Structure 1
Amino acid sequence: MANTKSNYKGVIGVLTGGGDVPGLNPAIRAVTFRAIREGYKVIGIRKGWEGMITIDRSKKLEEQEDAVVLTEQMVNRLGRTGGTFLHSSRTRPDMVKLDRVPDLYKDKYTLDINDMTSEVMLNIDYLGLDYLIPIGGDDTLSYGVHLHSKGVPVVAIPKTMDNDVPGTDYCIGFGTCISRTIELAHELRTSAGSHERFLVIEVFGRYAGFSALLPTMAGAADRCVIPEHKFDIEHLTELMVQDRANNPSKYSVLLVSEGAMFKNGDMIFKGEEADAYGHKKLGGIGDIVSEQMRNISAKYNNGRKIDVINQRLGYMVRSGAPDALDSIVPMAFGNLALDLILKGTFGRLVSLRNGRYDNVPIEVVTSYKKKVDIEKFYDKERYRPRYENFNDKPQLIMTSDY
């Protein structure tokens, strides 16, 4: 085992997995500051769970490429920036494809799909980790659940711009995502209005439509289609034509979740290749919706087709610096994680529920899929949020599953 204990109370490992979002660096900063001041050592694991299978146990800690001792000076400035300075990956150590097995283990792991959890366990011991704080979405954290079941002291922090981690109303990255979606949608209006067109904007959201629904509620769009309810393109086009006609500037706006599906259709994928969690890359639904709406629009517009401005926001909403929410909530989540460690409480997910910080059993991450409650919050006939019964709802209204 590497000599990492010294005079510290314990050693905490922190990693970020899955897609990058603004707010990850503030969370790492919060964990590091609080841990050091409480007498702990913090080791940052680079590239998410991939970093936990690339450790070379024949080398010293300071010689490792994917493990670094974090200091206050290192994380302080970086805490004000977007992305994750520890880097990230979509690796799942118990399902490593042969071509993703590190060179160090090529002779040992030769199957098409390899379970390298034993290496993770050995590397936890090598690094002297007493506690592990993974920061990620339901995919990344599902492996945290797996390690917890094996006795690893895990405290998880939820992160995903889709806001679909169960057990919490808010995930790091969501605030910046919806703020930037609203901002960019309003900027694109100038072109849509100038040319009297439809504006179709594709946003993230594989299984959950929060990232389309909340900006629409805030006035970023006239309509939105989300993964939880398949839409009729004919009816959608009719509504968009009506919206355009009622707008003095003669344009209308639609937000499309990347996981939205046509009536009697399925999700639109870019290709057949899947990541370690079985997810194929989404993208293209906005293009298809735009083309079909343009062709159908003549039926509801006196025989004249309406042109479309089609924009996929993509990484524009997940890059750059965090907004206020994604600067404050990660600070609180990081400190909540340390509170649990100090109490000796593990196997928990820090959370924000009904406006209050809390924690829940980490197993909730894999217990169900968090989605928009369409009966409460989505008008299936009008393809837009329901604006009713807001009393006693959490701050972001539609994001609670409790």
Structure 2
Amino acid sequence: MASNRPTIAILTGGGDVPGLNPAIRAITVRALREGHRVVGIRRGWAGLVDYSREADADNSDCVQELSEAIVNRAGRTGGTFLHTSRTQPSQLPRERVPEQLTGYGDPVNDVTKDVLLNLEHIGVDILIPIGGDDTLSYGKRLHDEGVNVVAIPKTMDNDVYGTDYCIGFSTCVTRTIELTHRLRTTAGSHERFLVIEVFGRYAGFTALLPTMAGAADRCLIPEHAVDVEHLTELMVYDHNRNPSRYSVVLVSEGASLTSHQGMSFESEETDMFGHRKLGGVGDRVAAALKEYSPRHNHGRRIDVVNQRLGYLVRSGEPDALDSIVPMAFGNLALDLIDRKQFGRLVSIHRGSYDNVPISSVTSDKKVVAVEKYYNTDRLRPIYEFDGAPLFIMTSD
């Protein structure tokens, strides 16, 4: 697969979001017109793990040559046509090591030396990983190993440190507002509480921003543990002053309750990055609201509509912002490549496009500044915007 033209490889890792295909399109179209060869690495880092350097090996499941025709068709759609995975080459379980890779007998293995050889065999000169902090932390590792890396941030939670905005966040907020408003009809018809669990492992932006926009009365975020009886008192107040007799709370999946230790998980199983799958805090909140409601509602129980939005907010086509920002991020990545500035993460800082060192990804966690944006007594946003950037959060 060698070529005399500089080759750019693009991969998408972690969860899918709307906006990935527009980013791939923007990079590919401009790069091809500037004389680069462009390939897509399929299934995230898994494509570079499973690639075979053996003669006549079929690597069509690992690497795909990209053309304008291919990316133009995909650029209007959601998800990622290159596919994705949560593979971590530096933490690869023994049963996941492909048979062509030898010398890896430990329960967990670092196969980076073969990833580097595979990149060389493919002929990759520049690598553009698009992902969240897990995907991009391995991108930093490859940069440290000498690979020319330019990274693009993507995550529903908008929690990559070093940038105000990550691809996928606007569509997530848009979908959350839309679906919450749809669910109001059922909650209002039955005069119930409406509990909606949304994304947000460590950062509560996906609950805070829709609540700011009027989608909910209250919100629970991972940055502040909540007394659920206090929440019940507030929800009963909202319920009884609403002419339709219902109230709404958005609950981040990573939210914690003072009555329970830590986050809520679906199971003990972890991915290669050590993350257990979150889920269940909405169920706990719903049960507690039902239990405590008579204490604050003159002895009468209020029932609950309990819904986890899950993948509904990351499926389908991108909204306007997630069509525009990925296009800009793709072109910013090409600008950095033209200037031979590698080891960078394209970003937005206080509303302006920028770039920062890729090491920013692993330097800190990006979370809601509770003292600025969250009223811990009223369990709702603080509405102060003077001088704040779009979406109120910054990369600082």
Q: Deviation digits for residues 277-331 of structure 1, max 9, x if unmatched?
A: 1100000110111011101001011101100000000000000000001000000
Q: What displacement does 1:104 show?
A: 2.2
| 2:106 alignment counterpart | 111
Q: What displacement does 1:186 show?
A: 0.3
Q: Secondary structure at the match of 1:272?
A: strand
Q: Which runs of 5+ in 1 are unaligned?
A: none
1:280 pairs with 2:270: no
| 1:224 alignment counterpart | 219
1:395 pairs with 2:384: no
From 286, 305, 321, the equivalent of 1:309 is: 305
1:148 pairs with 2:143: yes
Q: Deviation digits for residues 47-68 of structure 1, max 9, x if unmatched?
A: 0001111111114587532101
Q: Secondary structure at the match of 1:103?
A: coil
| 1:378 alignment counterpart | 374
* Structure 1 range deviating more: 274-283 or 94-103: 94-103
Q: Equivalent residues in 2 for 1:93-108 (5 A)?
A: 93-105=89-101, 107-108=102-103
Output the amino acid matched with 1:179.
T
Q: What displacement does 1:354 show?
A: 1.1
Task: Give the direction of change, closer, same or farther, for the CA distance of 1:40–1:60 in structure 2 (3 Å limit).
Answer: farther
Q: Following the alignment from structure 1 to structure 2, what is the Cα–Cα distance between the partners of residues 164 and 272?
A: 24
Contact 2:51 2:59 in 1 (8 A): no
| 1:134 alignment counterpart | 129
Q: Deviation digits for residues 162-184 of structure 1, max 9, x if unmatched?
A: 00000111000000000000000
| 1:236 alignment counterpart | 231
Q: Following the alignment from structure 1 to structure 2, what is the Cα–Cα distance between the partners of residues 85 and 103?
A: 26
Output the amino acid matched with 1:142.
S
| 1:11 alignment counterpart | 7
| 1:191 alignment counterpart | 186
Q: Which runs of 5+ in 2 are unaligned?
A: none
| 1:351 alignment counterpart | 347
Q: Following the alignment from structure 2 to structure 1, what is the Cα–Cα distance between the partners of residues 33 and 241?
A: 59
Q: Following the alignment from structure 2 to structure 1, what is the Cα–Cα distance between the partners of residues 79 and 159?
A: 19
Q: Following the alignment from structure 1 to structure 2, what is the Cα–Cα distance between the partners of residues 15 and 103?
A: 23
Q: Equivalent residues in 2 for 1:261-276 (5 A)?
A: 261-263=256-258, 265-276=261-272
Contact 1:55 1:64 in 2 (8 A): no
Q: Deviation digits for residues 229-271 of structure 1, max 9, x if unmatched?
A: 0000010000000000111110000000000001152101111
Q: Secondary structure at the match of 2:139?
A: helix
Q: Following the alignment from structure 2 to structure 1, what is the Cα–Cα distance between the partners of residues 376 and 56?
A: 59
Q: Following the alignment from structure 1 to structure 2, what is the Cα–Cα distance between the partners of residues 217 and 61?
A: 53
TM-score norm. by structure 1 comes to 0.97
Q: Secondary structure at the match of 1:74?
A: helix
1:91 pairs with 2:71: no
Contact 2:349 2:395 in 1 (8 A): no
Task: Give the direction of change, closer, same or farther, for the CA distance of 1:343–1:315 in structure 2 (3 Å limit).
Answer: same
Q: Following the alignment from structure 2 to structure 1, what is the Cα–Cα distance between the partners of residues 345 and 224?
A: 29
Contact 1:227 1:257 in 2 (8 A): yes
Q: Secondary structure at the match of 1:109?
A: coil
Q: Deviation digits for residues 339-383 of structure 1, max 9, x if unmatched?
A: 000000000000011111100000000000000000100000011
Q: Following the alignment from structure 1 to structure 2, what is the Cα–Cα distance between the partners of residues 61 and 248?
A: 67
| 2:71 alignment counterpart | 75
Q: Following the alignment from structure 1 to structure 2, what is the Cα–Cα distance between the partners of residues 134 and 296?
A: 47
| 2:164 alignment counterpart | 169
Output the amino acid matched with 1:257.
S
Q: Following the alignment from structure 1 to structure 2, what is the Cα–Cα distance between the partners of residues 146 and 401?
A: 22
Contact 2:52 2:59 in 1 (8 A): no
Q: Where has structure 1 moved over 6 Å in runs of 4 or more?
A: none
| 1:23 alignment counterpart | 19
Contact 2:162 2:360 in 1 (8 A): yes
Q: What displacement does 1:84 show?
A: 0.4
Contact 1:61 1:127 in 2 (8 A): no
Output the amino acid matched with 2:33.
R
